[in-house]
Amino acid sequence: MRGVELTADDLVRRAVIQALMCHFRVSIESIELAHLIEFKAYFAGELKALRPLADDGLVELGPDWIVVMPKGRLLVRAVAMVFDRYLRQVRERAAYSKVI
């Protein structure tokens, strides 16, 4: 057999990314109920990382929804990437040699 075993974290992140990519919005309450988490605490770092995108008008961070605004739809991958834990780990591990 082949495959990848998904953790609970993988499942909740998949749900958030899928909602953003497919519907351009994610209901905070629906994620909390489906995955038994407190969204704002669980994704505190991600919400902080979304703030510059919100300041640029690409997303709207409401109390109940995260919405990708029309001007941010072409950049929806950049919004969804904020929630990708594995992508962040690769970036953190990247090491470059020092020139000096």
pLDDT in tens, 48-85: 999 999 999 999 999 999 999 999 999 999 999 999 99
**What percentage of the chain carries pLDDT values higher than 90?**
79
Q: Would you say residue 85 lies in a domain?
A: yes
Domain span at residue 35? 8-92
Q: What is the CATH number of the domain that holds 60?
A: 1.10.10.920
- Which token pair is 80? 């969804």
* Least confident piece of the model among 9-13, 37-41, 46-50, 92-96: 92-96
Tell whether the model's pLDDT for residue 92 goes beyond 80: no
Total domain count, the chain: 1
3-state helix, strand, coil in the chain (%, to 5): 60, 10, 30
Report the predicted TM-score, pTM, of the whole model to 2 decimal places.
0.84
